[in-house]
Structure 1
Amino acid sequence: MAHLNILKKSALLMLSFSLLTACKNESGKAEQPALTTEEQEQEKGLKDYYSDYFSMGVAVAPNTIKGESAELLLKEFNSITPENVMKMGPIHPEKDRFNWEEADAIAEFARENDLMMRGHALVWHQQHGGWIFDAEDGGKVNKEELLSRMKTHIDSVVGRYKGTIYAWDVVNEAIADDSTQFLRKSEWYDITGEDFIIKAFEYAHAADPDAKLYYNDYNAIIPEKRDRIYKLLKMLVDRDVPIDGVGIQGHWSIYGPSEEELREALDMYSSLGLEVQITELDVSLYPWEKEQRERRPGDVDEFTSELEQKQLETYDMFFRVFRDYKDVLTSVTFWNLSDQYSWLDYYPVEGRKNYPLLFGEDMQRKKAYFQVIDFAEEKE
């Protein structure tokens, strides 16, 4: 009997050794036990659920690429867009001076973590640094000088991030809000007419021939502005201007746009042979307002269960449509990471709390998140 017990113990030891050996990797270190299905689901992020559809991005500030925010970003997203630091005013505040530090840090973060990166935005009527329009004599520069300064800016910025930034918002918001006008009455337009748009794309293409070049605008789904954006895009395409796509700023709300409006716009833009990206997605709890204003009676900032449900349904509709258009839609980028911070907390009403994103103030997934990924179970 003692002999049998020794044999049994030996067999158990051999079995344990075999199992331990099987669980070691090539470096000789014991591997971690296989994850359960539930644990595997916890490890997946938006980028994984949508890997067969389009890239999933987020707008970042310098503090987003640090600490807990960076961990959430890397788990959920595979693309980033600098929210402000690459706009002309912040990155090029004076004619002969550039601020590269914060933009460089974000670009380095993208390279280190193998993230796609969009550039935002080369030419815009806001945050431009007033110097670009000012002549040395105190007046306004002429057309030739303005285009020359714009070229220098584009050459410098696009050239610096060549190979890191795969796509640029070249011209931002050039269409007028006033339906009686076509192009926005900005200093760009006043000095150059429509030429600043055409030249911006030409300069950007020359600076980085491999980068995708986009025109970017808001209210691009609303029919009356959609039609004028389409007119501009068609003009650029017909003139063989080097443009690759249109960026639709998805600053939407639980009140709209409708599914019909969204599908019609995607059909129109893609009919030009252009790629489409949703560049600045958030879903506000309040109706659209363009102008900054003060708080009024009735301006509440509570995220009620009714608003939560409505936002969930709205996100669900948007992403159902996005999935249907995966052949023309190449990226969806959220404008900010979580409800801890959103530009909508400050605009159009300063201090009115909004909850427009898929991650809450605690940086945890909201109910709308699970609705957005619910299709994955159906697919499997």
Structure 2
Amino acid sequence: MDPSTIFKNIDRGLLLLIIAFIVSSFIQNTPKKGPALFIAGNTKAHNTDKGLKDYYKNYFPIGVAVSAASLHGPDSALIVKEFNSVTPENDMKMGPINPSEGVYNWKNADDIVDFAVSHHIKIRGHNLCWHNQEAIWMFKDTNGKPVTKELLLQRLKDHIFTVAGRYKGKIYAWDVVNEAVDDSDDTTQIYRKSNWYNICNGPDFIEAAFKYAHEADPHARLYYNDYNSEHPVKREKIFKLLKKLIADHVPIDGVGMQAHWKLNDPSPDELRKALDEVTSLGLKVQFTELDITIRLPQPKPATGAAAPGATILPTPDPGYTPELEAKQIAQYKMAFDIFRQYKKFITSVTFWNVSDRYSWLDQRGGGLMGGAAAAAKAPHLLKKAYPLLFDENRQRKKAYWSVVNF
């Protein structure tokens, strides 16, 4: 039959209804927002209205380390959009907040807490006891001599009660003790020989700090925090410390794995092994200081290659090349793939700094030491590390999409 004859036989009203249905369906299925974004090799659309916290709302909070200054500039909007947890980068560390006996610098810490509370953002406290950025006055008596163990622990208690007590009910988790485990390959040396360890003649300060923190805020979650937690030797040292704390009925809730990582470190197997060991003890895990530097380790000079006292120049800054970018994307994807697999044990993932515009790693003199994030007095030789998910213009990098597209 001729098509024109078919249309002549269709009731005009019915035809109008059919046309209206087709137009309505087209409108309803047309995106109402701007065009979706894509990256090469990925057919999944990028939703630019969602933040990291939204992608991971069914997994764990996504946090970021902040300074008081970052709350009043362009970083502020990015923090609110992307994250639902913050950690003070420096402003609650013992030295900055309690520089002398009875003196406390509250302004910056208060600003961070007030900002987070006003935006309904969770707060991790960092930290209550550390060998770096410490309050030097705590270790000396009025004559400048080393204090007794008893006096040092009393000062530690006063500090923890004052700081944790001030933010009771607002800070939900604390890094109570930071980096107390020895970082060498000497398997017989478990603890770092810090002022805390030396004056206490052992690790008693660790147990004391956790007990004081629990007394100061019984509802706060308490974490032991350290770097290189995935490296086999240090991993086992941390495991021994954790088993001792649990055996001694110390109030500890979990472990903070700092996650200052490199393009090829840790391996997937190392990361899973570290997670399996911690969770086997019934403890939770938080990744507390995540960044993945693109900088490669500097080769150590051969014996006799340089005269004593000679200056060893850092390797040239390669920049954020496509090759390094691809490796960083792969490492971030690997990490978050594993994080999601362990979601019932992981209670937070926090990035250390907001964007590549600023990273504590840029001030590390080209070296690649782990830990001591944002430590004062680090060498100030700028060598960009490009370690985060946002570039120097605070724009999402390709690594961002490798983390959220799952």
Tell me the TM-score normalized by structure 1.
0.87
Match of 1:11 in 2: none
Match of 2:57 in 1: 51
- The alignment status of 1:270 with 2:279, answered yes or no, reads yes
**Superposed CA offset, 1:240-269 (max 9, x none):** 100000000100010211000000100000
- The alignment status of 1:139 with 2:170, answered yes or no, reads no
Aligned residue runs from structure 1 range 1-380, under 5 A: 38=36, 41-180=47-186, 181-192=189-200, 193-287=202-296, 296=313, 298-349=315-366, 350-375=381-406
**Superposed CA offset, 1:174-202 (max 9, x none):** 00112321100011001112110000000
**Could you say if the C-alpha distance between residues 170 and 136 of structure 1 is closer, same or farther in structure 2, counting changes exceeding 3 Å?**
same
Q: 1 CA distance for matches of 2:227 and 2:401?
A: 27
CA offset at residue 348 of structure 1? Answer: 4.3
| Of 108-117 and 60-69, the range deviating more from structure 2 | 60-69
**Superposed CA offset, 1:306-354 (max 9, x none):** 1111100110000000000001011100000000000010114221111
The answer to whether the 8 A contact 1:255-1:287 is kept is no
Q: 2 CA distance for matches of 1:327 and 1:288?
A: 34
The answer to whether the 8 A contact 1:59-1:335 is kept is yes
Q: 2 CA distance for matches of 1:124 and 1:288?
A: 26
**Superposed CA offset, 1:42-85 (max 9, x none):** 21000000011110000001111123101001110000000000
Q: 2 CA distance for matches of 1:363 and 1:115?
A: 20
Q: 1 CA distance for matches of 2:365 and 2:248?
A: 37
SS for the counterpart of 1:159 is helix
What letter is aligned with 1:120?
A: H
CA offset at residue 164 of structure 1? Answer: 0.8
What letter is aligned with 2:329?
A: L
Q: 2 CA distance for matches of 1:179 and 1:276?
A: 24
The answer to whether the 8 A contact 1:119-1:165 is kept is yes
| Of 60-69 and 153-162, the range deviating more from structure 2 | 60-69
Match of 1:26 in 2: none
SS for the counterpart of 1:43 is coil
The answer to whether the 8 A contact 1:87-1:121 is kept is yes
**Could you say if the C-alpha distance between residues 288 and 242 of structure 1 is closer, same or farther in structure 2, counting changes exceeding 3 Å?**
farther
What letter is aligned with 1:140?
A: P
Match of 1:28 in 2: none
SS for the counterpart of 1:344 is helix
Q: 2 CA distance for matches of 1:238 and 1:200?
A: 16
Match of 2:7 in 1: none
**Could you say if the C-alpha distance between residues 363 and 36 of structure 1 is closer, same or farther in structure 2, counting changes exceeding 3 Å?**
closer
Q: 1 CA distance for matches of 2:190 and 2:59?
A: 34
What letter is aligned with 1:356?
A: P
Q: 1 CA distance for matches of 2:193 and 2:110?
A: 33
SS for the counterpart of 1:372 is helix
**Superposed CA offset, 1:343-378 (max 9, x none):** 010114221111000000010000000111110xxx
The answer to whether the 8 A contact 2:365-2:382 is kept is no
**Could you say if the C-alpha distance between residues 301 and 129 of structure 1 is closer, same or farther in structure 2, counting changes exceeding 3 Å?**
farther
CA RMSD of aligned residues (A): 1.9
Q: 2 CA distance for matches of 1:121 and 1:348?
A: 25
CA offset at residue 301 of structure 1? Answer: 4.0
CA offset at residue 300 of structure 1? Answer: 1.5
What letter is aligned with 1:279?
A: T
Q: 1 CA distance for matches of 2:94 and 2:51?
A: 33
CA offset at residue 138 of structure 1? Answer: 1.6
CA offset at residue 297 of structure 1? Answer: 5.3
The answer to whether the 8 A contact 1:301-1:353 is kept is no
SS for the counterpart of 1:42 is coil
Bigger helix fraction: 1
4+ runs deviating over 3 angstroms: 33-40
**Could you say if the C-alpha distance between residues 153 and 231 of structure 1 is closer, same or farther in structure 2, counting changes exceeding 3 Å?**
same
Alignment size in residue pairs: 341
